[in-house]
Amino acid sequence: MSETLNIALIQTELIWEHPEQNRADLSKKIDALIEEVDIIVLPEMFTSGFTMNPSRVAETMQGETIAWLKKVAANKQAAITGSMVIKENDHYYNRMVFVHPKGAIDHYDKRHTFTYAGEDKVYTPGTKKIIVDYNGWKICPLICYDLRFPVWARNVEAYDVLIYVANWPAIRVAAWDTLLKARAIENMSYCVGVNRVGKDDNNHDYSGHSAVYDVLGNRIDNIPFDKEAVEIVTLKKEVLEHNRSKFNFLADQDQFSIK
């Protein structure tokens, strides 16, 4: 079990519906990492941008991007995660994959498809929340619009880290900032949010605001808001356990189930 977790946040522009170029651009950023890291976090739909044209970019779990992720994870001896468009059984999914250094893969399909953009009309929503066990840490991976639904993120599994990947537009970035902090506080968990920057082909602006919050809602990163950046943030198990032991708010949460 590791007492620390070094997470690399990659806040980047994305080339519209161009997986090969996005992989190439991301490879340069990842190769430039000098420090050892445990997890590399990419944005939502990191191969394409937030497209409602899944047939143009969809891959399978045996496709080129999965092979690339496995290669990166092996070379860096670090897990790598982000979401991409996956086609499976004639359905399209906005799928967040978590690739371990030895090649094992956990995946989470976005539960809350973004109806405002018509995501619900082209992507099949997921039905299962997952917890990834990695280096003695329990990690809950979620995607963008999921951030607005606290019940889905509710910490009944005693997870340690929430990771949100996103293409969250600049016009609503105040909600992104506020809700990331809230999810950390209410779940007594570290909360990591990685968002893209730049403009997509739908003329939507993205201002980044990637961030990491500790269990009390204190921001612990220094990543700049609105430009490409890569930052490594260290999470400490001691801080997590000390605050949970001292305050123990999770023991008082209401009991209910989600249908």
Which of the residues are catalytic? 44, 110, 144
Which one, of 201, 210, 255, 214, lies nearest residue 230 by Cα? 210
Neighbours of 63 (CB within 10 A): 15
CA distance 66 to 75: 14
Q: How many CA atoms lie within 13 A of 80 on its CB side?
A: 25
Which one, of 165, 24, 21, 16, lies nearest residue 83 by Cα? 165
133 neighbors 158 (Cβ within 8 angstroms): no
CA distance 88 to 118: 20
End-to-end CA distance of the chain: 34
Q: Pinpoint the alpha helices (H) of 6-124.
A: 19-31, 64-76, 119-122
Q: How many CA atoms lie within 13 A of 99 on its CB side?
A: 25
135 neighbors 141 (Cβ within 8 angstroms): no
CA distance 18 to 39: 24
DSSP state, residue 255: P
